[in-house]
Amino acid sequence: MRIGKAEINATPDGIDVGGPFLEALAAVGVFSREAASDISNPGTKGAIEQTTTAIDSAPALVTINTKGNARVDQIEAGAAWLRLNLAATGVGLALRPVSQALQEYPEVAGPYAAIHEGFAGPQETVQMLGLLGYATRTPRTPRWPLEAKRLDA
């Protein structure tokens, strides 16, 4: 999680939490990573409810599955996701990832298993899960410069 414009610009990946209101709350210590991870926190409850509502009201779900889970499978799935996102955007649709439920850590083992049971065939891995529908346009966000991620052989 990146809190505030300075963190978002310095490390433009992960979940960005910005804007004057949230930055003010962070500056006075009301909003923090610790507060966001507390599921009894009203702000966290609200974020969970918004995500649940988005999932429940999505007109379509989309998955990208692979037969394996090797690094090459993951990279190919990521490339397919990018192509899907561009195609959806090109016809006026929005694609929203629901990726936390696909992480491989104990806290999401239940949702991970349920998603695979519902959306994957034998020996398949659900690499990407998303909501597909109409939504307001997402504002542009900072990106890493190519030089920061390119590996020269």
Report if residue 139 sits inside a domain: no
CA dist 59 and 133 (Å) reads: 6
Say if residue 44 is in the same domain as residue 75: no
pLDDT profile of the chain (153 residues), mean per 10: 90 87 90 90 89 91 96 97 96 92 90 95 96 88 87 75
| Under 8 Å between Cβ of 77 and 64 | yes
Say if residue 69 is in the same domain as residue 91: yes
Say if residue 46 is in the same domain as residue 81: no
Say if residue 46 is in the same domain as residue 64: no
Say if residue 15 is in the same domain as residue 47: yes
DSSP letter, residue 140: P
Say if residue 22 is in the same domain as residue 62: no
- What 3-state DSSP class applies to 77? helix
Say if residue 47 is in the same domain as residue 85: no
| Under 8 Å between Cβ of 105 and 99 | no
Say if residue 118 is in the same domain as residue 95: yes
Residue 127 sits in which domain range?
58-133
Report if residue 146 sits inside a domain: no
Report if residue 138 sits inside a domain: no
Q: Please enumerate in sequence order all residues whose Cβ is within 8 A of that of 87, keeping only pairs 6 or more positions apart, or say none.
A: none
Task: Report the amino acid identity of residue 121.
Answer: G
Tell me the whole-structure pTM to 2 decimals. Answer: 0.78
pLDDT of residue 153: 60
pLDDT of residue 88: 96
